[in-house]
């Protein structure tokens, strides 16, 4: 292929990646080492109140941001190195809690609290999504042609629903006088408050994620099941292999590349969990790394945003994603080299 033809096809994709991925990433990386603050000045402000004969005036000093000619707040940017990362991680406080085996104290630090939930959410839902997806795929594959279409449609419904809307739906079912909560209260003859404790909220959030993502895994695995060697399955059946043995020694090894693919997509997505935090309004009990970054960007009472800490939190999140993907990437590379 000529270079000109190659450039025409690849150039737009490379340009979009530079504009929307590479340049923003470099900008966030640099901002994590800088602190941008507004410039304040002290001015004398005279406040007068009406009196009977004369006004009563009081002069006091106040700090206010300096404005430029266009009316915008003047800011200064200072290079602070790793200080923003220290502000997010709070290493001294975290190390003291670890030395004292005080996990409760560690959970008082927002980053470590968010990291604990993010890792739990990621690694608990992963095997359940893979297992549920494979089970649904097998059910679809074994269904008769007449009902296979409706089964696929029903299976895909949770994945089609917008994530925030799906999370809100589960929230409403279990919150307060929700249908499922009321049903459980009648069956158990006791009041239930599933949103009063962190661990019950986490279970509901994990349940929602599995319900939402398992259909995607199912469709991927169902496509892979269509390419399983039928001769191998027939030979195993003739040799007396049970259904479980055929699944374990023939089907799962054949689907392993797809299992790795689904695992990579799931890990990248769940490590950036955000919709569940919004849909379940769990900020008072449970937060994630992605939510922490968002929270840093919210203006305080003075209208200032912690852009530097938000950038540091975002970079730490990206580093975490890269670390958990390393084993799967190594396996993919090893399989790729082994096939040549």
Find the domain containing 265 and state its range: 103-335
Q: What is the pLDDT of residue 215?
A: 92
Q: What is the pLDDT of residue 185?
A: 84
pLDDT (tens digit per residue) in 22-78: 898 899 999 999 888 777 778 777 778 776 667 777 787 777 777 877 777 777 888
Is 316 part of a structural domain of the chain?
A: yes
Q: What is the pLDDT of residue 172?
A: 86
Is 83 part of a structural domain of the chain?
A: no
**Total domains present in the chain:** 1
Q: Which of 112, 339, 135, 150 is nearest to 225 (CA)?
A: 135
Structure tokens, 272:
């950036």
Is 265 part of a structural domain of the chain?
A: yes
Q: Which of 267, 128, 153 is nearest to 219 (CA)?
A: 153
Is 225 part of a structural domain of the chain?
A: yes
- Please report which residue ranges of the chain form alpha helices under DSSP H: 3-17, 23-31, 83-89, 91-99, 103-106, 110-142, 145-160, 163-174, 179-188, 198-225, 230-238, 243-246, 252-270, 275-280, 289-296, 307-338
Q: What is the pLDDT of residue 129?
A: 95
Is 139 part of a structural domain of the chain?
A: yes
CA–CA separation, 58 and 4 (whole Å): 75
CA–CA separation, 161 and 130 (whole Å): 20
Instruction: Give the count of alpha carbons within 13 A of 330, CB side only.
Output: 6
Is 220 part of a structural domain of the chain?
A: yes
Q: What is the pLDDT of residue 178?
A: 80
Is 39 part of a structural domain of the chain?
A: no
Is 111 part of a structural domain of the chain?
A: yes
Whole-angstrom distance between the N-terminal and C-terminal Cα of the chain? 23
What separation in angstroms does the CA of 192 have from each of 188, 306, 309? 9, 38, 38
Output the domain CATH number for residue 183.
1.10.3720.10
pLDDT 10s per residue in the chain (340 long)?
A: 677 787 888 888 888 888 888 898 899 999 999 888 777 778 777 778 776 667 777 787 777 777 877 777 777 888 888 999 999 999 998 898 888 888 888 888 899 999 999 999 999 999 999 999 999 999 998 888 888 888 888 888 888 888 888 888 888 888 877 888 888 888 888 888 888 888 889 999 999 999 999 999 999 999 999 998 888 888 888 888 888 888 888 889 999 999 999 999 999 999 989 988 988 888 888 899 999 999 988 887 766 778 899 999 999 999 999 999 998 888 888 877 776 6
CA–CA separation, 167 and 209 (whole Å): 9
């Amino acid at each position: 292929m000529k270079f000109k033809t190659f450039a025409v096809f690849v150039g737009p994709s490379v340009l979009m990646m530079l504009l929307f991925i590479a340049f923003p990433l470099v900008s966030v990386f640099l901002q994590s080492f800088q602190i941008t603050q507004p410039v304040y000045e002290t001015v004398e402000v005279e406040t007068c109140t009406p009196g009977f004969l004369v006004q009563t005036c009081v002069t006091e000093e106040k700090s206010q941001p300096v404005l430029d000619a266009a009316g915008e707040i003047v800011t200064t940017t200072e290079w602070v190195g790793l200080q923003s990362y220290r502000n997010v991680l709070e290493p001294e406080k975290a190390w003291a809690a670890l030395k004292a085996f005080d996990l409760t104290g560690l959970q008082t630090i927002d980053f470590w609290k968010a990291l604990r939930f993010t890792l739990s959410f990621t690694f608990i839902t992963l095997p359940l999504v893979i297992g549920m997806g494979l089970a649904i795929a097998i059910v679809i594959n074994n269904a008769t042609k007449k009902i296979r279409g409706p089964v696929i449609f029903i299976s895909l419904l949770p994945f089609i629903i917008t994530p925030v809307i799906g999370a809100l739906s589960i929230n409403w079912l279990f919150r307060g006088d929700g249908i499922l909560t009321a049903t459980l209260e009648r069956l158990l003859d006791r009041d239930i408050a599933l949103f009063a404790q962190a661990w019950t909220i986490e279970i509901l959030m994990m349940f929602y994620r599995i319900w939402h993502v398992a259909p995607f895994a199912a469709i991927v695995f169902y496509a892979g099941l269509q390419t399983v060697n039928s001769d191998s399955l027939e030979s195993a059946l003739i040799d007396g292999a049970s259904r479980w043995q055929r699944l374990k020694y023939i089907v799962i090894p054949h689907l392993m590349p797809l299992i790795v693919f689904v695992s990579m997509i799931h890990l990248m997505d769940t490590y950036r969990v955000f919709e569940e935090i919004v849909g379940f309004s769990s900020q008072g009990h449970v937060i994630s790394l992605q939510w922490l970054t968002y929270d840093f960007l919210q203006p305080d009472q003075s209208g200032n945003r912690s852009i530097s800490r938000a950038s540091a939190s975002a970079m730490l999140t990206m580093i975490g994603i890269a670390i958990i993907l390393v084993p799967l990437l190594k396996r993919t590379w090893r399989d790729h080299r082994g096939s040549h």
